[in-house]
Structure 1
Amino acid sequence: MTRHVRSTPRPTHKWFAAVATAGLVGTLVTGLTATGAQAAEAAAGATLPFTSVEAESATTNGTRIGPDYTQGTVASEASGRQAVRLAAGQSVEFTLGKAANALNVAYNVPDGQSGSMAVYVNGQKISKTLAVTSKYSYVDTSWIAGSKTHHLFDNARLRLGQDLQSGDKVKLEATSTQVTVDVADVEQVEAAAGKPSGALSVTDKGADPTGQGDSTQAFRETIAAAKGGTVWIPPGEYKLTQSLNNVDDVTIRGAGNWHSVVRSSRFIDQSGAPTGKVGLHDFAVIGEVTERVDSSPDNFVNGSLGPNSTVSGMWLQHLKVGLWLTGNNDNLVVEKNRFLDMTADGLNLNGTAKGVEVRDNFLRNTGDDALAMWSLNTTNSDSTFAGNTISQPNLANGIAIYGGRDITVKDNLILDTNALGSGIAISNQKFMDPFFPLAGTITVSGNSLVRTGAMNPNWQHPMGALRVDAYDSAIEATVNITDTTITDSPWSAYEFVSGGGTGKAVKNVSIDRTTIDKVGTVVVQAETPGAVKMSNVKATGVGSAGIYNCPYPAGSGTFALTDGGGNSGWDSTWDDCSTWPRPGGGNPDPDPDRNLTRSRPATATGSADVYTPAKAVDGDAATYWESTNNAFPQSITVDLGKTEAVRRLVLKLPPSAAWGARTQTLSVQGSADGTTYSTLTESKGYRFDPADGNKVTITLPGSTPDVRHLRLRVTANTGWPAAQFGEVEAYLS
């Protein structure tokens, strides 16, 4: 299988050209109160069989971490960008809002560690424990520009063995290792379904429901014998050591995805042309994929199921991709499934498909686009992603449409994108040829985007909550975006860009009826020539300005923004195309007491293992940068985004008692252009002592020049043969 890399970087921008800026024209209407995240979640997304409870809103004696949007941190990949870190012996307790007998927990443990959590029901410890492991986490994809170690969370499920009622309490206690708990899904699992009339059971062909023996051949023989009918997977656990290759004109059904479990990293792999009507229903396929190998078909379905097929009621976990669909999958319906912990996509329609409906599914913790259509070789057409809930894709987009004709994206709820992705991307990024660009009408309607968009580390510019991207060719299709809710976007709401950096136009876009409640920087991020008409876009809580209109490259053209009426709350324009506005900054001047380095780009002369410079500006002193060992001098540099009158630094080490007192010898340097540095304070020793919070304050002289680039140069450390900082903070006073 040829796998594409969808995070190919746009060339580094030089944002210093004087570019004509178009403002809104017409009367702006006020008077809308934007809905919050809770209302947004209620208005769109899947109908789910479980209720999710966030750890940070539960009772705990652990440490709440976040909110954080810094790529590579645990909190940044968490639901709501917050979680609870438990040391051994600490706990988090959830109060149930409805009846339940099972739970699934999203969690993180430190790399290389495994353990368990004790489970208490109404204060009584039960005999079952919840296993936790880093085995499926900490994925590295060095071939994807801008990626860092990611996929930091995992999911673990447990049946409690008793029926609980609303108001009952479930407590999870870390026992042998640190566990960061993100969210618990609680549900009432129904009893196992019975065998359908006339179905052939895999156990009749020798499948082993204990999971000890290899059931591959039994599954193959049952599928062959049941052609035109139904294969039954009774309750139990079944191990497959090889994929199934001739699945055609057959239904495979289990007793429920908590009851019938297949352990396999490659369930169906077939490149032929099935006649279709394959049904896959009501069982779990749980793999052992621990890394992303794009040449390996480590997928639930790899290839084609044939036309008129259906997939429903599945629990898919620890695979590379849920469904990587090539060939004829016309009129396929994929509904009411759970996709958890994929190292790449949840589902990708890889060309050819017509009339596909992907609806009412739940996807969490995918390592690439959660749902994607990619029109390679032939075009996808007349297909729909509708009513899905997508949470925490940790490398790419929630939903991505790469080319295709007459595509619909409607009524989806997308939360907490990270790193190289938007909530929704409508794009002509081709990755390889032959590619079929967007055509016909692309309908994007009724979607809710919560905390979506990310700072692209390749661009040093964000990807908006909803992005229209003329990456490799101009947008010629008609793109209609209506009835959108954008809530708590960390960066921008709408982005219009040519991600390849060549200034291709975004045309034929209209936006009507959008509610925006809190956006970190701007409502409109226009970075390429083109045009959009915006009507009834109502924004509150705009961080910097309404509009950033700076097409790249210089001289490539202008972006025309037409006011269709009914807009409010975003009529200001960012007036400096040489800088990107900091969240919450810009016009008017931001809070003078803010930490200037928070979430800013940081670089260093070297790093030890995973202790990268970004961890010194992530707002969490428990994470830290450590330089290359035994290689003084070492330095860390932070780009503040614009020149600032820095007058005070606060340097921190992790507060744990395990960090003993030490003295680091360092000087402070600054630069306005990132090339020529001056010394702001001469080199001297600074003592970090746990008794004083393991922090040091450095006051800069009043004559210190304004600087954009702040550098700490370290020549010695009495506690370790490297430079170390948990946080590097800078303030105006």
Structure 2
Amino acid sequence: MSATGSAVRSMSAIGTAVAVAAGMLVVLAPAPAHAAAGATLPFTSVEAEAAAGTGTRIGPDYTQGTLASEASGRRAVRLDAGRRVEFTVPRAANAVNVAYSVPDSQSGSLAVYVNGQRLARTLPVTSKYSYVDTPWIAGSRTHHLYDNSRMLLGRNVQAGDTVALEATGVQVTVDVADFEQAPDPAAKPSGAVSVTDKGADPGGQGDSTQAFRAAIAAAQGGTVWIPPGEYRLTSSLNGVQNVTLRGAGHWHSIVRGSRFIDQTSSSGNVHLKDFAVIGEVTERVDSSPDNFVNGSLGPNSSVSGMWLQHLKVGLWLTGVNDDLVVENNRFLDMTADGLNLNGNARGVRVRNNFLRNQGDDALAMWSLNAPDVNSSFENNTVSQPNLANGIAIYGGTDITVRGNLISDTNALGSGIAISNQKFLDPFHPLSGTITVDGNTLVRTGAMNPNWNHPMGALRVDSYDSAIEAQVRITGTTVTDSPYSAFEFVSGSGRGFAARNITVDGATVNGAGTVVVQAETQGAAVFRDVTATGVGAAGVYNCPYPSGSGTFTVTDGGGNSGWNSTWSDCSSWPQPGQGNPDPDPDRNLTRGRPATATGSQDVYTRGKAVDGDANIYWESANHAFPQSLTVDLGSAQAVRRLVLKLPPQTAWGARTQTLSVQGSTEGSAYTTVVAPKDYRFDPATGNTVTVSLPSGTALRHLRLHVTGNTGWPAAQFSEVEAYLR
């Protein structure tokens, strides 16, 4: 499901944050009363931007639809042909998984070097599973820009050794590498029925669907064995009950197919463990069951030790799944949710899983048709959900979200959402006690393009009905939120109340705007909530619609660092707006909203403010004059502009004729710098500096271009603005 609230708010728009994020993704300690959040994982991740090499670092960025914004840590490294990134291996390993992106419609490979020696094998990279469009979801843009590729190195490396990745025939942006010691293949369990004995082809050429079905039928009450190899399934399995399907380990037993189990009911006792299911899903089609599990496994079932990739959803669970346990799995590159408990989930435990690059909510409970009851998401690690929330609870009774680590949400979601958004009926709203305990949220929250205002790291949302459940939020750590830490909202814009909420023992280490973002009527008590690095004010308290009621923020004691209130409900605070001395060396345009008189093909306006000088905006051709306008968010005394074109020598020298215009309110513009010719020459970096008169205050910066000797259009790869 996607929490894509569609209300058009009457508040002022706020641009995307440009707060600097930490370069490495680390597990940060939450409140002292809790153990470290997140899953215990068999691999160690190293960020590309923290490695050595000859690539170009990109980011940080929070602009929807950019490579940096969808990367972990909001940073990555771009490799042109012949460029490399070299990782120092953090642990003994014989396998690596790499998160990467290549330009749309391109494929290729990365050369792999171990301690300087090139391996015979290469790491394949492709855009096949990326660049997903979901136009039926309001506010979404092309997203899902990264993919994951893994390989066994064929040798053991030790901590301190080096593994380098080098681009060959295609540009590759490398985000992060996971190093691990993959175990040897497990042995066949005694008495198990092997799928190869029933005719399955471990070479992946023949269709093994019927062999899997025959093995399942023969092994009732026992185990189906999936030996090392690759098996191709062309249709889904059903009637799966009272059986264990087990592989030799997900590095060794691999099923190729986009639909594995599809059944509406089962008597249960189904156990799926220790193999990989890798699909071929390249677009999201909600009417298609392109899922690892679609429907029901029945009571007392389990899913463990699985590698699930390139599917629409990992587990879309309907019907009866009582007491299901989902643990120690990896969910990678889904075009929609990682896992969704779609009603009727009773006593389900989802724990110690790793999820990266999901195309919607990474983990969700949605109480459609019947409530999810007494179920939990515990100690999971979620990275880079690129359309919705890290964890979302839509209705349900007595639900627990505990000990999870969530990082780098993008576009339409929060780190955690506790919500009464129903999507469809019959829906069962939140009831009983909702426990949100010991979670760590790093760089979570996003700019909602439908509302034109931000979503907090942790959101409580009375979207379709008032929240009457007891919502208990304890031991939360929020780090480097681009906007607020805690948001209380009725996302439909109808002002339903959010009440019965307590927030205890939270630590906020950096919030771009406020600690508490209260936008609907209701009440919450805060105790022992400490904050540092708050960008604008402690509290934004402006319920919507105006006059719909009040939100009461009660100080329960022990709070510090957020006692101020944003005073102007007619405008949203900008990230860092409360700082009286903004950094004079910060580029004021980076990540800010940009508009243009026109754009040519894929060379869109946002590319001029994304921090990457290698990609560019180009106006409509043969149609001078053209202009590009950037909203800085508030009036700034800009003293200097730096204009760039891509630095490659293929960009021949050219002269653009332009003037600089400015406005404080976005309608009436004055000329700040008169028209002049500016020469862009790759010999000097294709960079031009424009000085502005002192004392010029402007919020809206416009470049008005009337000519270009090198191309019949206006062109900029970066437009930067500075206070000195």
Could you say whether these structures have the same fold, taking a TM-score greater than 0.5 normalized by the shorter chain as the test?
A: yes
How many Å separate the matches in 2 of 1:331 and 1:701? 69
Q: 2:3–2:413: 8 Å Cα contact kept in structure 1?
A: no
Partner residue of 1:131? 124
| Deviations 1:449-488 (CA, angstroms, capped at 9, x unpaired) | 1111112222221111111111111211110000111112
Distance 2:194 2:211 in 1: 9
4+ runs of 1 displaced by more than 6 Å?
none
1:492 lines up with 2:481 in the alignment:
no
**2:432 counterpart of 1:435:** no
* Aligned residue among 376, 381, 405 for 1:389: 381
SS of equivalent to 1:184 = strand
Asked if 1:100 corresponds to 2:100, the answer is no
Partners of 1:374 and 1:292 in 2: CA distance: 19
Query: What amino acid is the match of 1:529?
Result: Q
Say if 1:612 and 1:626, in contact at 8 Å, map to a contact too.
yes
What is the SS of the residue equivalent to 1:39? coil
Matched residue SS, 2:529: strand
1:715 maps to 706
Q: Identify the residue that residue 3 of structure 2 maps to in structure 1.
A: 6
The aligned residue for residue 24 of structure 1 is none
Q: Is the 8 A contact 2:52 2:86 kept in 1?
A: yes
Cα 1:553–1:677 shift into 2, 3 Å: farther
- Cα distance in 2 between the residues matched to 1:95 and 1:681: 49
SS in 2 for 1:517: strand
Deviation at 1:587, TM superposition (A): 4.4
Q: Structure 2 vs 1, CA of residues 530 and 51 (structure 1 numbering), >3 Å: closer, same or farther? A: same
Residue 280 of structure 2 aligns with an amino acid whose one-letter code is E
Structure 2 counterpart of 1:381, one-letter code = V
What is the 5 A alignment of 1:203-282?
203-271=196-264, 273-282=265-274
Q: Are the equivalent residues in 2 in contact too, given 1:40–1:487 (CA < 8 A)?
A: no
Alpha-carbon distance, 1:554 to partner: 1.6
On the 8 A contact 2:474/2:504 being kept in 1, the answer is yes
1:477 aligns with 2:469: yes
For the residue of structure 2 that corresponds to 1:224, the secondary structure is helix
Q: Deviations over 1:542-600 (max 9, x none)?
A: 22221222222221222211101111111122222233222222243423443332222
SS of the aligned residue for 2:479 comes to strand
SS of the residue corresponding to residue 215 of structure 2 reads helix
Q: Structure 2: which amino acid aligns with 1:607?
A: S
Partner residue, 1:29:
none
Please state how far the C-alpha of 1:513 moved relative to its aligned partner: 0.3
TM-score normalized by the length of structure 1: 0.93
C-alpha deviation, 1:703, in angstroms: 7.2
The amino acid of 2:428's aligned partner reads: F
Which residue of the other structure, out of 169, 180, 190, is the alignment partner of 1:176?
169
Structure 2 distance, partners of 1:142, 1:386, is 33
Q: Is residue 40 of structure 1 aligned with residue 37 of structure 2?
A: no
Kindly state the Cα deviation for residue 448 of structure 1 after the two structures are TM-superposed. 0.6
Please name the residue that 1:298 is paired with. Answer: 290
Q: Secondary structure at the match of 2:323?
A: coil
Letter in 2 for 1:479: V
1:266-306 deviations in Å (ceiling 9; x for gaps): 111112x2111111110000011111111111111111111
Determine if contact 1:477/1:508 at 8 Å carries over to the other structure: yes
Of 345-354 and 716-725, more deviation after overlay is shown by: 716-725
Answer yes or no: is 1:66 the counterpart of 2:65: no
Cross-structure match for 2:159: 166
Aligned to 2:514: 522
Q: Is the 8 A contact 1:405 1:438 kept in 2?
A: yes
The CA distance in 2 between the partners of 1:645 and 1:471, in whole Å, is 40
Show CA shifts across 1:27-61 (max 9, x none): xxxxxxxxx95433881111111111111112212
Q: Say if 2:618 is the partner of 1:626.
A: yes
Alpha-carbon spacing, 1:9–1:610, altered in 2? closer, same or farther (3 Å) = farther
Deviations 1:418-441 (A, max 9, x none): 111111011111112221111111
Amino acid in structure 2 at the alignment position of 1:719: G
How far 1:701 sits from its partner (Å)? Answer: 4.1
1:730 equivalenced with 2:718 (yes/no): no
TM-score norm. by structure 2 comes to: 0.94
Partner of 1:547: 539
Letter in 2 for 1:725: F
Superposition CA RMSD, Å: 1.9
The answer (yes or no) to whether the contact 1:605–1:627 under 8 Å persists in 2 is yes
SS of corresponding position for 2:132: coil
Q: Find the counterpart in structure 2 of residue 462 from structure 1.
A: 454
105-114 or 684-693, larger mean C-alpha shift: 684-693
* Matched-pair contact (CA < 8 Å) for 1:344–1:368: yes
Distance 2:8 2:570 in 1: 16
Answer yes or no: is the 8 Å Cα contact 2:325–2:349 preserved in 1.
yes
| 1:447 corresponds to | 439
- The 1-side partners of 2:94 and 2:722 are apart by 51
**More moved, 655-664 vs 487-496:** 655-664
**Paired amino acid for 2:646:** P
SS in 2 for 1:667: strand
Asked if 1:688 is matched to 2:680, the reply is yes
* Secondary structure in 2 matching 1:72: coil
Deviation at 1:647, TM superposition (A): 4.2
1:83 matched to 2:72? The reply is no
Q: Does 1:197 align with 2:186?
A: no
> Could you tell me how far apart the structure 1 residues matched to 2:616 and 2:480 are?
27
What is the CA deviation profile of residues 350-381 of structure 1, one whole-angstrom value per residue up to 9, with x for unaligned ones?
Answer: 11111110000000011111000111111111
Kept in 2: contact 1:574–1:586 (CA 8 A):
no
CA positional deviation for 1:502: 1.9
2:598 match: secondary structure: coil
* Gaps in structure 1 of 5+ consecutive residues: 17-35
Match of 1:571 among 559, 563, 588: 563
Asked if the contact 1:288–1:319 (Cα under 8 Å) also holds between the matched residues in 2, the reply is yes
Question: 1:218 offset after TM fit, Å?
Answer: 0.9
Aligned CA distance change for structure 1 residues 76 and 433 (closer, same or farther; 3 Å): same
Query: Residues of 2 paired with 1:238 and 1:583: CA distance?
Result: 51
Amino acid at match of 2:712: P
- CA shift for structure 1 position 655: 2.0
